[in-house]
Each structure stands twice: as C-alpha cells, then as structure tokens.
C-alpha cells in the first residue's frame, strides 16, 4: 500500500509452499484463507495478484535442509535458507520474469545505499520487531533490488496505516512458528518425516555418569532443560551432543557459557571480507541481543 501511494507500479505475489499431505490447512503462511486474504488486499489496492507454486523447490531447499541439520547434530534455521533461496532466489526470479525491477517485502529492516557505492543492511527503527538477522545472508545484488518499506516505521504505525487504507489485514495476528510445522512441534514433524532419527542413546554427565536414555539426538538442542526425561537434585541442561557415540552430555547452567565460537559460511554483505582484524558485536540467534 505504501509503495502504491508512492507511485510504484506494484504486483502482488504470494507463494504456495509445501505442507505435509492432509495438513495443508494448518500451514502458518499460505492457507487457503491466507491466500484469499492476500487477494482481497490486492483487489483493494487495485493491483495484479499472482499465486506462485513453490512446493517442490521449498521441499528441496528448506525442508530437506531442516531435516538434514537435525540429523547432523545442529539446530537449523530454515527461515534464513528460505529468504536466501526461496524469497530472494526462486520468487525474485519469478518477479523479474513478470517485469518487476524491485522486490519489496514486509520485513522490518532497512536497506541503505551509501556514498561509496555499497549497499548496507540496517536494523529496523522498531528494534522490538527488527528482522535484519533473517536477511543477513543476502548479497549486494539482491539488496540492490530490494525495498523494505516497513523498516523506518513501527509496528503500531503499520497497523494504523493498514486501517487507514481499509486493508483486511490490519488486525491480523503475526505468525511466530515455522510455516511448515503447522500446529505441531518440530519433534512430531521429524518423527513423521524422518523416523530414522529416532535412535535412542545415553544421556551422561561430563564425568561419564549415566543419567538416562535419550530418544534421538535430533530431538534435543544445546541449552535445552525441559523434556530430558531425567531426574536430578538441580536443573540440568544439554551441553554437547556426540554424534558418533550417539551420546548427549548434560550439566549445570554455568557450564553452558562459552567465551568463543567458530563461524562458518559467513556472508559479507559488502561482497568481500574485511582486510584487517576488527571488533564486532555478534548476534548468535534471532531473539538475542548483539
């Protein structure tokens, strides 16, 4: 709506994403009702609307990555992969084929074209809603064609603008979960789609003391406390996962702290890494502070 008001020729697009058979109505972002709502918004703004089938590519690029991550002992972040390969990959290419020059989304973040010719990704004005973390894998070419109209305003302002335009999404609740999990948990999803991950093994303390049996490493994450199925005089947390030995190591909260990390697959938004060492504030997960 903001871009229409600013004079852009806007095309509305929405993806049809993969869902488990029989659970399509529970997909968090592209249910029939959500699709109908998007069409109503497009009609209200008098812009063309296209629903694009991305089921197969989403299953291959996002869902399989999600399953493989847990199988390999890591906690995957499918939203990052979806943004890079589906939204700014598959969907962006489709948008270009429809004649689009720019790609606009409702993410709360900002794109800045600086005087040196580089494009920077900045936090949103509304820090409580900032989503720059889930866009950090984009490159210069992708950001150069990206418009993020909500990055400079707050969530409450967005809702008021939607009311002013008479859009039916003004009071819609936000989705907080992974779209393809529906109303279930990732544990249930993995049991249905990757039953081979149900591989029980030992839960031990750092000194080797046996405390219990886990149901498969994929169902536990570093830092987890609840649902371990063990009893102890004080709370215990998952400290490490030994994939080869199929063992989960637990300990007390103070043992979770780390003073270093190794980052891999780093994406330098400028297109090249810094030439000299530097100090930085690091955000290690979406809801953490840098």
Across 228-235, average pLDDT: 90
In this structure, are strands 103-104 and 119-123 parallel, antiparallel, or unpaired?
A: unpaired
The pLDDT, as a whole number, for residue 130 is 95
- In the residue annotation, 82 being an active-site residue is answered as yes
Across 29-56, average pLDDT: 90
Average pLDDT over all residues of the chain: 90
pLDDT band for 63, please (50, 70, 90 cuts).
very high
Q: What is the CA radius of gyration of the chain?
A: 22
Q: Show the tokens assigned to 166.
A: 């008479």
- In the residue annotation, 179 being an active-site residue is answered as yes
Closest CA to 231 of 248, 210, 261, 259: 210
Q: Is the pLDDT of residue 153 over 70?
A: yes
Catalytic residue, chosen from 30, 79, 123, 179, is 179
Across 172-194, average pLDDT: 82
pTM > 0.75: yes or no: yes
CB atoms within 10 A of CB 259: 4
The torsion angles phi and psi of 241, rounded to 5 degrees, stand at -130, 115
In this structure, are strands 49-53 and 12-16 parallel, antiparallel, or unpaired?
A: parallel
3-state secondary structure of 12: strand
The torsion angles phi and psi of 41, rounded to 5 degrees, stand at -65, -45
Q: Is the pLDDT of residue 176 over 90?
A: no
Domains annotated on the chain, with CATH: 2-181 (3.40.50.620), 198-251 (2.30.30.280)
Q: Is the pLDDT of residue 98 over 90?
A: no
Dist CA 23 CA 17 (whole Å): 12
The pLDDT, as a whole number, for residue 47 is 95
**Strands, sheet with 201-205, edge to edge from the N-terminal-most edge strand:** 210-214, 201-205, 247-251, 237-242
Dist CA 107 CA 122 (whole Å): 12
């Amino acid at each position: 709506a903001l871009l229409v008001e600013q004079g852009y020729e806007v095309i509305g697009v929405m993806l049809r994403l993969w869902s488990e058979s029989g659970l399509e109505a529970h997909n968090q972002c592209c249910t029939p009702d959500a699709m109908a709502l998007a069409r109503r918004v497009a009609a209200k703004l008098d812009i063309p609307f296209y629903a694009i089938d991305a089921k197969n590519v989403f299953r291959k690029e996002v869902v399989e990555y999600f399953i493989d991550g847990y199988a390999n002992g890591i906690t995957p972040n499918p939203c990052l992969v979806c943004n890079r390969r589906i939204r700014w990959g598959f969907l962006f290419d489709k948008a270009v084929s429809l004649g689009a020059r720019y790609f606009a989304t409702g993410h709360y973040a900002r794109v800045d074209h600086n005087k040196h010719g580089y494009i920077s990704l900045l936090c949103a004005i509304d820090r409580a809603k900032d989503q720059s973390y889930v866009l950090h894998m984009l490159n210069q070419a992708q950001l150069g064609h990206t418009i993020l109209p909500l990055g400079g305003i707050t969530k409450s302002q967005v809702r008021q603008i939607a009311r002013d335009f008479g859009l039916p999404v003004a009071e819609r609740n936000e989705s907080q979960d992974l779209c393809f999990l529906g109303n279930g948990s990732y544990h249930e999803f993995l049991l249905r789609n990757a039953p081979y991950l149900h591989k029980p093994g030992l839960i031990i303390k750092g000194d080797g003391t046996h405390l219990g049996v886990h149901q498969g490493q994929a169902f536990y994450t570093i830092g987890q406390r609840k649902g371990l199925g063990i009893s102890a005089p004080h709370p215990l947390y998952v400290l490490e996962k030994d994939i080869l030995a199929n063992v989960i190591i637990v300990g007390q909260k103070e043992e979770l702290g780390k003073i270093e990390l190794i980052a891999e697959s780093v994406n330098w938004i400028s297109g090249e890494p810094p030439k000299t060492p530097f100090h930085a504030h690091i955000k290690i997960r979406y809801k953490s502070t840098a």
